[in-house]
Structure 1
Amino acid sequence: MSSEKVIILGASDCVDRYSYKAMKMLEDHGHETILVHPKLSEIEGRKVFSSLSELKGKYDTLTVYVNSKISSQLKDEILKLDVGRVIFNPGTENDFLESELTKNNISTERACTLVLLSTDQF
C-alpha cells in the first residue's frame, strides 16, 4: 500500500462527521491528510488550512465533504491544485464541477472515501 497525500475539503473536529472519520481512517491506512476548513485552525493538533489557495505542491486526492454550492464557488481554487483525482462523497455530487475537472484532465469519482478505504479500493 502506497501512502497518498489527501486533501480533506470540509474537514471537521466533530467526531460524528464523515470528514472527521475519513481523516482518522486515512491516517490509519498510512495516508497523509491535509485539512481545509475556513473557520478551524487545528483539529487535534493538526494544522487546518483556511482555503485551498494556501496549498502548494502535488497532491494525490482531494476528497470533498462540502455541498455543491460551496464546491462550485471553489472551482477556480480546485482547478489550480496539482491533484490527481477528486472524490465526491455521497451528498457532495456536483455535475458542473465534475465536468470542469474532466475538461482539465483531473479524474473524478463519486464514491465514499470510508467505503473505498474499507474495501481496499482507495
Structure 2
Amino acid sequence: MAERVVVLGASPKPERYSYKATQMLTEYGHTVVPVNPYHRAVAGIHCQPDIASVDGPVDTVTVYMRGELLAPHMDALIGLSPRRVIFNPGSEDEGLARELRARGIVCEDACTLVLLRSKQF
C-alpha cells in the first residue's frame, strides 16, 4: 500500500542514501516529502524547509540526520502524528525513539532501502 513518507535530511546529491531513498520510495509508488532547509528540490521533488512546513497526513518519517540535529524539532515531528519513524544507520537515537514510543509512534532502527527491497516497508 502506498504511503506518504517524509524524508528528513533529504539531499540532492545522488551518492547520498537520503537521495537514493527519495528516488526508491517514489519508484515504489510512495508519495515523498523531502525536508531540508538548504535545498529547494531533491530528486525533482519540491523540498520543505523544515518539519513544521509539512502539512497533511504522514504515514512514515524516515530520518537521515543525527539525533542532536533532530532533537530541537521533536515537537514538530510529534505534531505530524506519523504511524512510524525509521532511524536509518547513523541517525539512531534511543532517547528520541523512547520519547516517540511514549506517544504511540512505532520506531525502527532500520535502513529504508533494505526495507523497500525486502518488501518489509
CA contact (8 A) 1:72 1:96 kept: no
Taking structure 2 as the reference length, the TM-score comes to 0.96
CA contact (8 A) 2:87 2:110 kept: yes
Separation in structure 1 between the aligned mates of residue 70 and residue 89 of structure 2, nearest angstrom: 14
More strand by share: 1
Q: Which amino acid aligns with 1:35?
A: P
Separation in structure 1 between the aligned mates of residue 81 and residue 67 of structure 2, nearest angstrom: 21
Superimposed CA distance per residue, residues 23-72 of structure 1 (whole angstroms, 9 cap, x where no aligned partner): 11111111110010011112243210000101122111000000111111
SS at match of 2:39: coil
The aligned runs of 1:1-122 (5 Å cut-off) are: 2-122=1-121
CA contact (8 A) 1:22 1:113 kept: yes
SS at match of 2:46: strand
Q: Which amino acid aligns with 1:25?
A: M
SS at match of 1:7: strand
4+ residue segments displaced more than 2 Å: none
Separation in structure 2 between the aligned mates of residue 45 and residue 116 of structure 1, nearest angstrom: 23
Paired residues in the alignment total: 121
Query: How far 1:76 sits from its partner (Å)?
Result: 1.2
SS at match of 1:23: helix
Q: Which amino acid aligns with 2:27?
A: D
Query: How far 1:86 sits from its partner (Å)?
Result: 0.1
Superimposed CA distance per residue, residues 72-98 of structure 1 (whole angstroms, 9 cap, x where no aligned partner): 121111111121100000110011110
CA contact (8 A) 1:57 1:82 kept: no
Taking structure 1 as the reference length, the TM-score comes to 0.95
CA contact (8 A) 2:19 2:43 kept: no
Query: What stretches of structure 1 of length at least 5 have no aligned partner?
Result: none
